[in-house]
Structure 1
Amino acid sequence: MNRLYISLLLLNTIWFFSCSDKKQLQSVEFTYFSNTKPDDNNLNNWILEDIKLDSVPGISLDRAINDELITPPKNPIIIAVIDTEIDINHESLKRNIWQNKKEIPGNGKDDDANGYIDDINGWNFIGNAKGENIIYPNNESLRIIRAYKKDSLNGLVNKELYKKALKKYEEAKESAQSDMDYVNFLTDTYPKSKKALLKFFPKEDYTTDQLDSLYDIYKEKDEELAKLIYYMSDYIKYDLSKEWIDDLRKTVEGDLNKSLNPDYFDRDILGDNPDDINDISYGTPIVNGHIGELYHGTEVASIIAAQTDSLKGVCENCLIMPVSISSNGNEHDKDIALGIKYAVDNGAKVINMSFGKELSLHKQWVLDAIKYAEDNNVLIVSSAGNSRLNLSEITDYYPNDNLNDETEVSNNYILVGATTNTIDPDLLAYFSNYGQHDVDVFAPGHLIKAAIPNNKYKEDSGTSLSSAVVSGIAGIIFSQYPDLSAAQVKRIIMNSGVEYNIDVSVPSKDNPKRLLPFKQLSKSGKIVNVYNALLMAKSLSDDN
Structure 2
Amino acid sequence: MSFSQQPISKKKLLSKEELKTWLHKDYIQDTIAGTSLEKAYTELLQNKKGKEIIVAVLDTKLDIFHEDLKDQIWVNEDEIPNNGIDDDNNGYIDDVNGWDFLSNDKGEFIEYQNYEETRVIRKYDSLFKGRHLEDVATRHKEAFKMYAKVVADYEASLKDLKQILKDAYAWREIFPIAKKQTQKILKKEKLTYRELDSLEKTKQKDTLINYYAGYMKTQIKNNIDLEFIKNYIKRYENRLHIFYNRNYDERKITGDNVKDINDRFYGYHKVYGRVPFEHSIVVSGILGAKKDNGIGIQGISNNIKIMPVVMVASGDEHDKDVALAIRYAVDNGASVINMSWGKNFSTEETWVHDAIKYAEKHDVLLVTAAGNEGRSIDEDKYYLNDYLEEEEIVNNFMVIGANNYKITERLVASFSNYGKKHVDIFAPGIYIYTTDTNNKYKFSRGTSLASPIVSGIAALIRSYYPNLSASEVKMILMESGTSFDLKVRVLDKNDKKIYVPFSELSKSGKVVNAYNALVLAEEISRKK
1:212 & 1:29 partners in 2: Cα distance?
59
1:337 alignment partner AA:
A
* d(CA) in 2 for partners of 1:458, 1:527: 24
- Partner Cα distance (2:363, 2:167) in 1: 48
Corresponding residue of 2:366: 380
Are 2:282 and 1:299 equivalent residues in the alignment?
Answer: yes
Matched residue, 1:490: 474
Could you say what secondary structure the match of 2:367 adopts? strand
1:395-434 aligned at under 5 Å gives the runs: 395=381, 397-405=382-390, 407-434=391-418
CA distance in 2, matches of 1:490, 1:215: 63
| Greater CA drift, 98-107 or 442-451 | 442-451
Q: Decide which of 149, 153, 159 is 1:168's aligned counterpart.
A: 153
SS at match of 2:88: coil
- The amino acid across from 2:373 in the alignment is S
- Tell me whether 1:355 sits opposite 2:341 in the alignment: yes
Distance 1:505-1:32 versus aligned 2 partners, 3 A rule: closer
Could you tell me which amino acid in structure 2 is paired with residue 227 of structure 1? G
Residue identity opposite 1:169 in structure 2: Y
**Aligned Cα root-mean-square deviation (Å):** 2.9
Q: d(CA) in 1 for partners of 2:389 and 2:485?
A: 29
1:283 maps to which of 253, 267, 287: 267
1:18-417 to structure 2, matched below 5 A, reads 27-29=2-4, 35-41=10-16, 42-69=18-45, 73-149=49-125, 158-181=143-166, 183-184=168-169, 187=172, 223-224=210-211, 227-228=214-215, 231-232=218-219, 235=222, 245-289=229-273, 291-307=274-290, 309-395=295-381, 397-405=382-390, 407-417=391-401
CA offset digits 1:277-328 (Å, max 9, x no partner): 1111211101113x24231011111110112622222233211100000110
CA contact (8 A) 1:352 1:471 kept: yes
Closer, same or farther: CA 205–131 of 1 in aligned 2, 3 Å: same
Say whether the 8 Å CA contact 2:6–2:484 is kept in structure 1. Answer: no
Structure 1 residues 488-534: Cα deviation after superposition (integer angstroms, max 9, x where no partner): 11111111111112221111364633211111111111111111111
What amino acid maps onto 1:383 in structure 2? A
Q: CA–CA distance in 2 between the matches of 1:31 and 1:122?
A: 42
What CA distance in whole angstroms lies between the structure 1 residues aligned with 2:258 and 2:65? Answer: 31
> C-alpha offsets along residues 230-273 of structure 1, whole Å, 9 cap, x if unaligned?
5247516xxx6776655443332221112222221111221111
Counterpart code for 1:301: S
1:443–1:466 Cα contact (<8 Å) kept: yes
Aligned to 2:130: none
Q: Give the letter aligned to residue 501 of structure 1.
A: D
Determine which of 421, 437, 443 is the counterpart of 1:437.
421
Matched AA of 1:84: T
TM-score normalised over the length of structure 2: 0.88
Whole-angstrom distance in 2 between the partners of 1:185 and 1:37: 45
User: Secondary structure of 1:54's match?
Assistant: coil
How many residues are aligned here?
508
Amino acid at match of 2:408: D
For residues 368 and 396 of structure 2, the distance between their equivalents in structure 1, rounded to whole angstroms, comes to: 11
CA distance in 1, matches of 2:196, 2:45: 53
Matched, 1:515 2:499: yes
Q: Distance in 2 between matches of 1:168 and 1:184?
A: 24
Deviation at 1:485, TM superposition (A): 0.6
Q: Contact 1:81/1:320 (CA < 8 Å) preserved in 2?
A: yes
Query: Which letter does structure 1 place at the counterpart of 2:12?
Result: K
Which consecutive unaligned segments of at least 5 residues does structure 2 have? 128-136
Residue 31 of structure 1: how far off its partner (Å) = 5.2
- Partner amino acid, structure 2, of 1:388: G
